[in-house]
């Protein structure tokens, strides 16, 4: 298993999931879905960090093919995964902290994105800790 490919894949999945529906609101027959973009536009401006960090992780993961500095890519991937997972978990808590009048549920795309950010942080941490030691 190539951890660099896994890192790139997890960052790409999280980036794509940011644009897919995260939250489903329903009240009677009316139903609405909100993506990460919709939530970021609606006053949760910190969520704009998620696509920026995922693009940075993708860029440094792809550029890493030409350079021999894997620890920079691993550190950026770790920080991007950690911050994105924190921001997504904060949205999960907000979604679950609603009244019973409007039914709010998280979609599978949200959970896929959250899982990929957590996996990105874990794989990048292992890449950073497993880098070759210079004597």
- Asked if residue 123 is part of any domain, the answer here is yes
- Asked if residue 134 is part of any domain, the answer here is no
pLDDT at 84: 94
State phi, psi for 123 to the nearest 5 degrees.
-65, -40
pLDDT at 105: 84
- Asked if residue 109 is part of any domain, the answer here is yes
- Asked if residue 62 is part of any domain, the answer here is yes
- The pTM assigned to this predicted structure is 0.85
- Asked if residue 67 is part of any domain, the answer here is yes
- Asked if residue 77 is part of any domain, the answer here is yes
pLDDT at 68: 61
In the predicted model, residues of the chain with pLDDT beneath 50 are 135
Which domain range does residue 26 map to? 3-129
Write b or e for each residue in 62-90: b if 16 or more Cβ atoms lie within 10 A of its Cβ, otherwise e.
Answer: eebeeeeebeebbbbbbebbbbbbebbee
Closest CA to 14 of 124, 93, 101: 124
State the Cα–Cα distance between residues 92 and 115, nearest whole angstrom.
Answer: 13
pLDDT at 49: 92
CATH of residue 76's domain is 1.20.140.150
pLDDT at 118: 95
- Asked if residue 106 is part of any domain, the answer here is yes
Cα separations in angstroms, 11 against 27, 48, 64, 99, 106: 34, 15, 14, 33, 20
- Asked if residue 135 is part of any domain, the answer here is no
pLDDT at 69: 65
pLDDT at 42: 85
pLDDT tens digit sequence for 62-99: 875 555 666 788 888 899 999 999 999 998 888 877 66
pLDDT at 60: 85
Structural domains of the chain, count: 1
């Amino acid at each position: 298993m190539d951890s660099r490919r896994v890192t790139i894949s997890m960052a790409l999945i999280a980036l794509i999931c940011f644009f897919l529906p995260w939250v489903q609101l329903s009240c009677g027959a009316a139903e609405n879905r909100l993506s990460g973009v919709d939530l970021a536009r609606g006053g949760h401006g910190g969520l704009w960090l998620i696509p920026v960090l995922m693009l940075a992780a993708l860029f440094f993961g792809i550029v890493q093919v030409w350079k021999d500095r894997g620890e920079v890519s691993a550190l950026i991937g770790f920080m991007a995964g950690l911050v994105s997972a924190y921001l997504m978990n904060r949205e999960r808590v907000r979604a679950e902290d609603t009244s019973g009048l409007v039914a709010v549920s998280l979609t599978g795309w949200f959970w896929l994105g959250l899982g990929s950010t957590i996996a990105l942080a874990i794989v990048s941490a292992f890449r950073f800790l497993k880098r070759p030691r210079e004597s």
